[in-house]
Amino acid sequence: MKNAILLKQENLPELADRLVTPSYDRSKMKAGIVHIGVGGFHRSHEAYYTDNLMKEMDASEWGICGVGLREADRKMRDILRSQDYLYTLLIRHPDGKIETRIIGSLIDFMLSIDDPMAVIDKMASPDTKIVSLTITEGGYNFHPVTGEFMLENPDVQHDLVNPDKPKQVFAFLTAALKKRRAAGLPPFTVQSCDNIQHNGDMAKKMLLAFAKAQDPELAKWIQAHVAFPNAMVDRITPVTTPKDIDYLRDEVGVIDMWPVTCEPFCQWVIEDVFSNGRPAWEKMGAQFVADVTPYEKMKIRLLNAGHSVLGLLGSIHGHETIDGTVRDPLFAKYLRGFMDIEATPVLDQVEGIDLTAYKDNLIERFGNPNIKDNLARICLESSAKLPKFLISTIRENLASNGSIAYGTLVIAAWCLYSDKGVSRHGVALDKVDAMKDELHLAAAGTAKDVLAFLRLEPVFGDLANNPRFTTLYSEMVQALYQDPDISKLMKKVLAGN
C-alpha cells in the first residue's frame, strides 16, 4: 500500500484516487444547520444525507456546525478540527463489500462549555435555519411516567438564573430564539433526530416548559412560530473501533482518527413543517410525510425494542454482538416471536409498508456479519430506552389482554443484569446508565422482595400493581435467580405461544 495520507482539506485531491471525496466547493459553505450532539449516528445519517445533496446540487447554505454540550465532546471536536471537520464513513455490506467515502457537510464544531455565548450567537445567526438534535432519549429531561419537563433538575435550575451561561440544550435554544426575535429574524426549526415517538412534539413540550419558566412572553412566540417536525430516523451505527481506523490506514490509505461505520440501510421520514426553509433531502431519499406517527412507532417498537430484546437476553447468555446473537437460532426465533406476537398487534397500519417484509428485513440487518454492534451499546441507558421501546408494548398488551411473556422475560433479565452485572459465565457486563445506581439498588432487593426492581417508579410507573404482569414477572425472575441460563426460560416462552 502507498503511504497513508492524513485526512485534511488540502489532501482531498490526492485522496480522491483512494476513496470517494466531497466533489463540491467546501470553502463556499455556510452553516444553515447547527447540530447538537455529534456522535456516530448524526455523522452516518443527517450529515450523510446532506453530503449526498451537496454532491448533487448547490446546497452550500446547508453546511453543518456541530455543537457539543459536554466535556466528553472535546475529543470529537479536537479530532474533527484537526481534520478540517472531514471524516470517513465506512458502509459495511453483508457480503463484505466496504464503501468508503469522505463526508464534507460538517464545517465547524463548537464546544458550549468553552464559550456558551458563541454557541447562542451561532444559533441566532441569520445563516442558521435549523437546529437539529441527537441528544439521546435521556436528553429531553422528561419525567418517564408523567412525561412532564423536570424543572427541578439542577442544570435547569442553574440555567433559569444564568441565561447567558446555560448548560442544557433547552436553555441554549431559548436564549438563541430570544435573540432572533429581538433581531426580527425568523426562528429556526428545531429538528429532533432521536428515537422517541413524536420526537418533535416532545422537543416542543420540553422547550416550551423551560421557556415559560424563564420568559412566558417568549414562550408564546415560540409556540406560535417555531416548527418542530416529528421524524423517524434509522441507520444502525455501531461504536467506532480501532479496527476501523487501522483498516482505513492500512487498506485504503487515509489517516482518520475518528471515522464512522454503518450499515447500508438508511431511512428518514420527516413531517414537512419547517419554520425557515430546509434542504431538499427528499432528493436523497428522505421521505416527507404529513404524519410520521405510524412510521416512528413501527421503528421504535420493532427495531429498537428488538435490539433491546437481543441486547439484554444476549448479554446474560454471554453473547457479545447483535449479529452473533441473532445468528443463534433460539434468539432469532425468540426475536421473531416477540415481534409477531407482542409488538405487531399493538402497531398501527402503515400505508404502503408490508410489516412482514419490514420484520424480515430487520432480521437481515441485525445479522449483517460486518456490523459488529456490541450488546453493550444496545444496553447502555436502558432506563431511558426501555420505557419507550418495550414497556409501552407490555402496557398496551396488558390493556388489550394480549401476550406479554416475551417482553416480561426481558424485564426479568434486565433485573438480573442490573443486580449481578455478569453474564451466566461470570463475565462482567459493561453497565452504563444515568440511573445505574438506582437500578442496582432496586434489583439487589429482589431476594427479599421479588417485585423490588419494579418498584422503580420512574421507570415502570404503576406496573408493580398489575397482577397479571407481576405474577408472570415473579415466576420468571425467581427462576432466573435460581438458574441464570436464560435459554431455558426463552424456550418456555416459545413453547407457551
Which residues contribute to the site for ligand CS2 (CB under 6 A)? 195, 234-236, 304, 307, 378, 385
Least distance (Å) between residue 110 CB and ligand CS2? 25
Least distance (Å) between residue 307 CB and ligand CS2? 4
- For 36: left if phi > 0, alpha if psi spans -120 to 50, otherwise beta; the answer is beta
Distance from C-alpha of 14 to C-alpha of 163, rounded to nearest angstrom: 47
Q: Would you give the DSSP letter of residue 2?
A: P
CB closer to ligand CS2 out of 212 and 385: 385
What Å distances lie between residue 110 and 11, 34, 36, 78, 98, CA to CA? 24, 10, 9, 10, 31
Distance from C-alpha of 108 to C-alpha of 81, rounded to nearest angstrom: 7
CB closer to ligand CS2 out of 111 and 371: 371
CB closer to ligand CS2 out of 47 and 177: 47
CB closer to ligand CS2 out of 374 and 446: 374
Distance from C-alpha of 222 to C-alpha of 225, rounded to nearest angstrom: 5
Least distance (Å) between residue 155 CB and ligand CS2? 23
Least distance (Å) between residue 304 CB and ligand CS2? 4
Q: Give the three cell numbers for residue 216.
A: 412566558
Chain centroid offset of residue 43 CA = 12
Distance from C-alpha of 191 to C-alpha of 214, rounded to nearest angstrom: 22
Least distance (Å) between residue 236 CB and ligand CS2? 4
Cross-sheet strand order for the sheet of 231-234 = 231-234, 267-271, 287-289
Least distance (Å) between residue 249 CB and ligand CS2? 26
In 3-state terms, what secondary structure has residue 364?
helix
Least distance (Å) between residue 264 CB and ligand CS2? 13
Distance from C-alpha of 344 to C-alpha of 438, rounded to nearest angstrom: 32
CB closer to ligand CS2 out of 73 and 234: 234
Least distance (Å) between residue 387 CB and ligand CS2? 13
CB closer to ligand CS2 out of 50 and 304: 304
Least distance (Å) between residue 432 CB and ligand CS2? 12
Least distance (Å) between residue 367 CB and ligand CS2? 14
- For 485: left if phi > 0, alpha if psi spans -120 to 50, otherwise beta; the answer is beta
Task: Write the burial class of residue 479 (CB in 10 Å: 0-12 exposed, 13-18 middle, 19+ buried).
Answer: middle
Distance from C-alpha of 201 to C-alpha of 153, rounded to nearest angstrom: 21
CB closer to ligand CS2 out of 179 and 431: 431
Angle at 396 between CA 234 and CA 361, to 5 degrees: 30
Measuring CA to CA, which residue among 214, 178, 207 is closest to residue 190?
207
CB closer to ligand CS2 out of 312 and 490: 312
Residue nearest ligand CS2, CB atom distance: 307
Helix H or strand E segment including 222 = helix 216-225
CB closer to ligand CS2 out of 174 and 195: 195
Contact between 311 and 379 under an 8 Å Cβ cutoff? The reply is: yes
Beta bridge partners of 13: none
CB closer to ligand CS2 out of 92 and 385: 385
Contact between 228 and 190 under an 8 Å Cβ cutoff? The reply is: yes
